[in-house]
Amino acid sequence: MAVPAHVRIDKWLWAARFFKTRSLAVKACELGRILSNGQAAKPAREVRPGDRLRITNDGGTFEVTVLALSEARGPAAVAQALYQESEESKAARALVAEARKSMPVFEFEHEGRPSKRDRRQLSRLRGR
């Protein structure tokens, strides 16, 4: 199979496994969560080897350099060979993950609707 010279950015993001579906990749582009060489990328924008992408998804913010192109989604090992993440990006994501782990977890004890006392506490908490 011939290697394409350029690929739509939504297809590449899906093939590189940043998003589970192409429609999620399209939505991220439309919401401005994908920057290609510093500019907001539309889903049909073409990506080429050497492009720098800033990708914001549920896993965090990735700053990657495109190494190879693919239109087909393959195994994770193949997908990781399509890009190289910068060291600053890896460090920033590790910091965010550590901060998330150290935050306290709040759990509700009650099932169903809150009681009058619970509503008062929530109102006090929200500053109302």
Which is higher by pLDDT, 103 or 61? Answer: 61
The range of the structural domain enclosing residue 115 comes to 7-126
Tens of pLDDT, residue by residue over 22-68, are 999 999 999 999 999 999 999 999 999 999 999 999 888 999 999 99
**Is position 74 within any domain?**
yes
**Is position 2 within any domain?**
no
How many domains, in total, are found in the chain? 1
Predicted TM-score of the model (pTM)? 0.76
Tens of pLDDT, residue by residue over 7-31, are 999 999 999 999 999 999 999 999 9
Residues 66-75, mean pLDDT to the nearest whole number: 92
**Is position 13 within any domain?**
yes
pLDDT of residue 44: 93
- Give which of 87, 88, 68, 86 is closest to 77, Cα–Cα: 68
**Is position 75 within any domain?**
yes
**Is position 1 within any domain?**
no
pLDDT of residue 52: 95
**Is position 39 within any domain?**
yes
Domain CATH code at residue 66: 3.10.290.10
**Is position 48 within any domain?**
yes
> CA-CA distances (angstroms) from residue 74 to 14, 42, 77, 92, 110?
10, 24, 8, 27, 44
**Is position 46 within any domain?**
yes
